[in-house]
Amino acid sequence: MSWLEKVRNKIPFIVKRETPDNLWHRCPHCQTMIFNKDYEENLSVCPKCGFHGRIGSRARFDSLFDEGDYSVLPPPVVPEDPLKFRDTKRYVDRLKAARLKSGENDALLNAKGRLAGRQTVIGVQDFSFMGGSMGLAVGSAFVAGVKAAIECHSPYIIFTAAGGARMQEGILSLMQMPRSTAAIAELREAGLPYIVVLTDPTTGGVTASYAMLGDVQIAEPGALIGFAGQRVIESTIREKLPEGFQRAEYLLEHGMIDMVVPRAEMRDRLISLVDYLLPANEAA
């Protein structure tokens, strides 16, 4: 405790004011302090350096659908702890904590609404829910989103954010890779667009499956995209990798993705792509 604080504590008529901890946000890239309300209104993008922070599924839906009007699709019912897994904590306890923190049932949420008047189904992975990891619930939600898009003859747009497969579900989590790939094949058979937006971070089994199978591959600026981590790759091949080789801009330069689109321009770009891929006379 400083000398000034000791003096203030001893003077009875000085009123202490409690300052909420959530008034300000510090940009992790440029360290600028941003008023939290301004930061949220700017879609969690730093107004000084353009760093794209992570946002939740409902904030994403609000920024994309016409007038923020949409209906969330009910999450599929799946076995919650099929392997009765336990590490330092029980898996069921980890799920309870993640649900309490995020307010969502699992890491992938689908919603149906209109994008420039056109019926569209959008899925969003939330990294704050156990690192956006892919398990039975995420795989089932992805398949449900595809089926909803086929039912209403609309595009399916997925925003990915994941650390990979969910280890607490073992081989069952890995089986979501071919399962989601089969669902995408059904969407293509129906002649409907599948658009992927890669957000920070998209890694592991998600990258090795539905995240890289879009008709169009978009990424947000600076997004980390890859399968294994940089240190793992370097220790395997015993070579130093280029700076930023797993970032969106590097992947665009080397032909792995089609475009990098800032969050403020995402809605307009998606509208243009959907209009091109699914002309109005082919829509329902």
Grouping H, G, I as helix, E, B as strand and the rest as coil, residue 138 is helix
Q: What is the CA radius of gyration of the chain?
A: 21
The answer to whether residues 68 and 44 belong to one domain is no
Residue 152 annotated in ligand binding: no
* 162 DSSP β-pair partners: 202
Domain count, the chain: 2
Question: Which single residue is written with the structure tokens 């032909």?
Answer: 255
The domain of 184 spans: 54-277
Residue 49 annotated in ligand binding: yes
Classify residue 9: in a domain, yes or no.
no
At 198-255, the pLDDT tens digits run 999 999 999 999 999 999 999 999 999 999 888 889 899 899 988 889 999 999 999 9
Element of type H or E holding 188: helix 176-189
CATH of the domain at 269: 3.90.226.10
Give, as one character, the DSSP assignment of residue 245. Answer: T
At 41-74, the pLDDT tens digits run 999 999 999 999 999 999 999 999 999 999 999 9
The answer to whether residues 45 and 96 belong to one domain is no
Q: Specify the pTM.
A: 0.89
pLDDT at position 20, please? 57
The answer to whether residues 188 and 214 belong to one domain is yes
Give, as one character, the DSSP assignment of residue 132. Answer: G
Structure tokens that stand for 158 in this block: 């997925």
